[in-house]
Chains A and B, each alone.
Chain A
Amino acid sequence: MIIAAHAIKEKIRRKELYIVAMIGVLVLILFSADGSTISIAGKPITDYDNLAPIFLIMVNAICGALAIFLSLKTIPNEYERKTSHLVWIRGISQTRYHSELAIANGISCMLAEGIMFIGMILFTLMKHRQDQLWKLIPAYFIMALGIWIVSLLTSLLSIIFPGMVAGLIAAIVYLAGIFHSVLELFGNMVSGLVGKLLDIVLWIVPNLHEIQAQAGNIFTGSSISIHVIVKGLFIIWLLGLGFMIFKKKEA
Chain B
Amino acid sequence: MGNMKKIAYGAVGVILLFTTIFTGRTGLGEENIEIYKKALELQSKMEGTGFENFRLEDYTVAFYDGKNDYVIVNSDTEITTQKREPVMDTLVATAWETDGEYQVLCPTVEKLQGLVNMLMPAAQVQTTPEDTDSANTDNAYTQESHVATIWHEAFHCYQLTNYEQGIEKLIGAEDRETANVADTNLIVTEVDGNEQVVNLYKKEIALLEKAINEDDLDVVKEIILEYKQLDEERKEFLSSECQLAEAYYTVMEGTAYYVEELAYANLQQPEKQDDRTNKNVVWDINQTSANDIKLEPYTEGTNKYYNIGRAQCLILDKLSPDWKADYDFSRELIELIYEEAGILQ
Q: Which residues of A contact B (CB under 8 A)?
A: 40-41, 43-47, 49-50, 93, 95-96, 181-182, 184-185, 187-191, 195, 220, 225-227, 230-231, 233-234, 237-238, 240-241, 244
Contact = CB atoms under 8 A, between A and B. Distances in A.
Contact of A188 (B25, B90, B125, B133): B90
Interface in B98-133: 107, 111, 114-115, 118, 120-122, 124-128, 131, 133
B16 A44 contact: no
25 contacts: A40-B121, A40-B125, A41-B122, A43-B122, A43-B135, A45-B134, A45-B135, A46-B134, A47-B131, A95-B1, A185-B111, A185-B118, A188-B107, A188-B111, A189-B91, A190-B90, A191-B90, A225-B23, A227-B20, A230-B16, A233-B16, A234-B19, A237-B9, A237-B13, A241-B13
Interface string B4-19: 0000010011001101
A95 B2 CA distance: 11
Nearest to B139: A41
Interface in B314-345: none
Contacts of A226: 23
Contacts of A189: 90-91
B16 A234 contact: yes
Contacts of B127: 47, 50
A209 B133 CA distance: 29
A35 B224 CA distance: 51
B300 interface: no
Contact of B89 (A50, A96, A191): A191
A188 B16 contact: no
Given A50-B126, A188-B91, A182 B118 contact: yes
A185 B91 contact: yes
Contact of A234 (B20, B111, B131): B20
A194 to B, nearest CB: 12
A234 B166 CA distance: 58
A247 B177 CA distance: 61
Contacts of B24: 227, 231
Given A41-B135, A234-B20, A240-B9, 4 more contacts: A40-B121, A43-B133, A185-B91, A241-B9
B121 A41 contact: yes
B213 interface: no
A40 B134 CA distance: 9
